[in-house]
Amino acid sequence: MSENQLTIKDYETPVCPTWCPGCSNYSIWVAVRQALVKLGIQPHEVVFTFDIGCNSNGANFYQGYICHALHGRALPPAEAIRWANHKLKAVIAVGGDGGGFGIGVGHFIHACRRNVDLLYITHDNQIYGLTTGQTSPTSPKGFISKSTPFGNLEEPVNPSALALASRATWVARGFAGELNHLADLIIKGIKHPGFAHLNIFQPCVTFNKVNTFEWFRERVYKLEDTGYQPHDRQLAWEKSWEMNGQLPIGLLYEITAPTYREQLPQLATEALVEKKLGEIDLTRALAEFR
């Protein structure tokens, strides 16, 4: 299959998606595949790692190399895969607000500061959808759900601010209701040489009756329409906290810095998977265990 013959159908499996009718996971599924088509990345050249959650049922719906990890653990295998073969065209980790900013938040912080070369997409619907509607780490204070019937007592995590504070080199926000804009951000995130975090406002049409498509449509605006330049961390920090009735989407922050792998002389040239282990002299290492 040549690059220009690719279509989004090439990234589909025979398994029909089981998301609720109208779920915004469908839009993200389309946007990711549009981005891969535009980049000419074929299914065998991309690795996806998935968390647990509605979003990560995508493990069954995307064609490519797939790892369906434990809850909160989409990032560790993605990092290992990138270090094992830094020549892969794309490594994409996918998770949600529960796995990403609750159960697996430690992995997120450390992946940011390590600057591992991969794209981490978080479907942020501000609720646990797969388990039928409990308050999540990004649910707003006062949010009423099955788990907080009298209102959420906790302040929500701000994913983009957390990424900036953890020194991620590429931080963006998208909205599932802005498909082409989202696909463009995914392209930029895949191309970024380092850790790219894309948090997507992803309305859960079944269980979150507050943060709906309409709610977001009334509030989101595109940073690039304002002349915003994404190279100042302080400015990005301020934008990430902008909540005065408006929510900026687009690229908040971008710098180039050495990736973790680039700082390892052992992986300066050939990938780990290309190394001929039989030619490595293990005499000294083995002597230490005698």
With b meaning 16 or more CB within 10 Å and e meaning fewer, what string describes 108-143?
bbebbebbbbbbbbbbbbbbbbbeebbbbbbbeeeb
Q: Is 85 exposed, middle or buried (0-12, 13-18, 19+ CB in 10 A)?
A: middle
Residue reference for tokens 């190279």: 231
> By the 8 A CB rule, do 212 and 203 touch?
yes
Q: Which is it for the CA torsion 253, 23, 90, 186, positive or negative? A: negative
The CB-of-217 to ligand SF4 minimum distance in angstroms stands at 17
Residues 180-219 that bind ligand SF4 (CB under 6 A): 204-207
The CB-of-192 to ligand SF4 minimum distance in angstroms stands at 27
The CB-of-19 to ligand SF4 minimum distance in angstroms stands at 4
Residues 82-141 that bind ligand SF4 (CB under 6 A): 125, 129
| Residue number, 186 or 204, with CB nearest to ligand SF4 | 204
Q: Is 237 exposed, middle or buried (0-12, 13-18, 19+ CB in 10 A)?
A: middle
Distance CA(290)–CA(287), nearest Å, equals: 5
Q: Which of 28, 35, 65, 31 is nearest to 50 (CA)?
A: 65
The CB-of-178 to ligand SF4 minimum distance in angstroms stands at 18
User: Cα dist. 57→21, 53, 67 in Å?
Assistant: 15, 7, 11
Residues 28-57 that bind ligand SF4 (CB under 6 A): 54
Q: With contacts defined by CB under 6 A, name the span among 15-23, 44-52, 171-179, 270-278 that binds ligand SF4.
A: 15-23
Q: Is 58 in the site for ligand SF4 (CB under 6 A)?
A: no
The CB-of-110 to ligand SF4 minimum distance in angstroms stands at 27
Residue 120: strand pairing partners: 93, 197
Contact pick of 6, 11, 23, 200 for ligand SF4 (by CB under 6 A): 23
The CB-of-74 to ligand SF4 minimum distance in angstroms stands at 16
The CB-of-21 to ligand SF4 minimum distance in angstroms stands at 8
Contact pick of 20, 67, 109, 161 for ligand SF4 (by CB under 6 A): 20
Residues 218-277 that bind ligand SF4 (CB under 6 A): none
Q: Which of 120, 115, 72 is nearest to 93 (CA)?
A: 120
| Residue number, 6 or 176, with CB nearest to ligand SF4 | 176
Q: Which residues bind ligand SF4 (CB under 6 A)?
A: 19-20, 23, 25, 54, 125, 129, 204-207
